[in-house]
């Protein structure tokens, strides 16, 4: 079964023509809504802003076959299921890389040299520079 992971943008309860009730789940960056006919969204306590992993049937109107809320660690800001570093660490790394690329863009430095400078800038930002 296909699966998708993303942040819930909108959840709406709806009623079909035959009076069955279902929920649509919209994820950021996804063109299609996912259709929950079994009440998995409510059972899992999913609300707008939560990050979820949805298994679906892959049809034109994707029916939810599995739903998992992905919890984030309060202390590190990371996904407990997948280690990616804290948001602050990622921002620091990206800022250092961007600064290094800007500084060295007018020179003929290689990508390796830009990366080395970015790593040094990251250490300096964190107060770990020697």
How confident is the model over 87-130, as pLDDT tens digits? 677 777 777 777 777 777 777 777 777 778 888 887 877 777 66
CB 115 within 8 A of CB 93: no
| Global confidence as pTM | 0.55
- Tell me the C-alpha distance between 37 and 92, whole Å: 42
Average pLDDT rounded to a whole number, residues 71-88: 53
**Closest Cα partner for 64 from 28, 38, 26, 32?**
38
pLDDT number for residue 93: 75
Residues of the chain with pLDDT > 90, as a percent, come to 33
Domains and CATH numbers, the chain: 3-69 (2.40.50.140), 87-126 (no CATH)
Positive or negative, the Cα torsion across 59, 64, 65, 71?
Answer: positive
Pairing of strands 64-69, 34-36: unpaired
């Amino acid at each position: 079964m296909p699966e998708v992971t993303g942040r819930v943008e909108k959840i709406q309860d709806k009623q079909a023509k035959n009076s069955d009730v279902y929920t649509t789940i919209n994820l950021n960056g996804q063109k299609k809504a996912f259709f929950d006919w079994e009440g998995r969204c409510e059972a899992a306590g999913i609300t707008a802003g939560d990050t979820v992993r949805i298994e679906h049937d892959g049809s034109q109107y994707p029916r939810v076959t599995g739903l998992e809320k992905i919890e984030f660690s309060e202390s590190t800001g990371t996904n407990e299921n997948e280690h990616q570093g804290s948001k602050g660490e990622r921002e620091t790394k990206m800022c250092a890389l961007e600064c290094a690329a800007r500084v060295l863009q007018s020179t003929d430095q290689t990508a390796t040299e830009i990366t080395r400078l970015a790593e040094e800038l990251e250490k300096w930002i964190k107060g770990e520079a020697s």
